[in-house]
Copies of this chain bind each other. A is one copy, B any other.
Amino acid sequence: MSLSLFEASVPAFERSLTAFLGVLDKAEAHAKARKFDAANYLAVRLIPDMWPLTRQIQAFCDHAKNAAFRLAGAEPPAVENRETTIAELRARIHATLEHLKTVDSAAVDAAADRDVVFPLGPAKMKMQGANYLLHFALPNFYFHLTTAYDILRAGGVEIGKRDFLGAVPGLTPA
């Protein structure tokens, strides 16, 4: 009848982060086939006053990590934004996946009934845990994930919805 808060958060982050490793593989393969440096993608923006690819990837990694730790009532480990290569961005995603593995699922589940406190710009805000996940963390995560995908897709990488979704669990012919 119901869903645990852990189930609604960490596995979705993990599926999406793992899928994006495959998107980066396709970006590198495309660059190699066209004989340009895949790192040329890192500074690409959809418009000059939006964040570039690197910052979009850092942002979705942080939204996943921070949401999981805050839901669990723990301080998210600080990660600096220093990536300057595709290999380093791939390592950032792997590090995020490792951080997610350390999150206590029972502590996350308990967040449904308490407030999550988090910084928003210069302010400190709070939200009830389930609202924080559904109306802040998930839309922010998917916003930066999709925009990173869109930058690569608009930049010629041959990716489609399946690459974005990744390994959808339990999808079988009816």
Q: Is the CB of A143 within 8 A of B164?
A: yes
User: Are A3 and B139 in contact (CB-based, < 8 A)?
Assistant: no
A143 to B161, CA, bound (A): 9
State the CA gap A123–B174 with chains docked (Å): 8
B171 x A130 contact (CB < 8 A): no
A binding-site residues for B, Cβ under 8 Å:
1-5, 7-8, 11-12, 15-16, 46-47, 50, 109-110, 112-113, 115, 117, 120, 123-128, 130-131, 134-136, 138-140, 142-143, 146-147, 149-150, 153-154, 156, 161, 164-165, 168-174
Q: Can you list 14 contacts pairing A with B, beta carbon distance less than 8 Å?
A: A3-B112, A3-B130, A3-B134, A16-B139, A46-B46, A123-B173, A127-B171, A127-B172, A135-B168, A136-B168, A142-B143, A143-B146, A143-B161, A146-B146
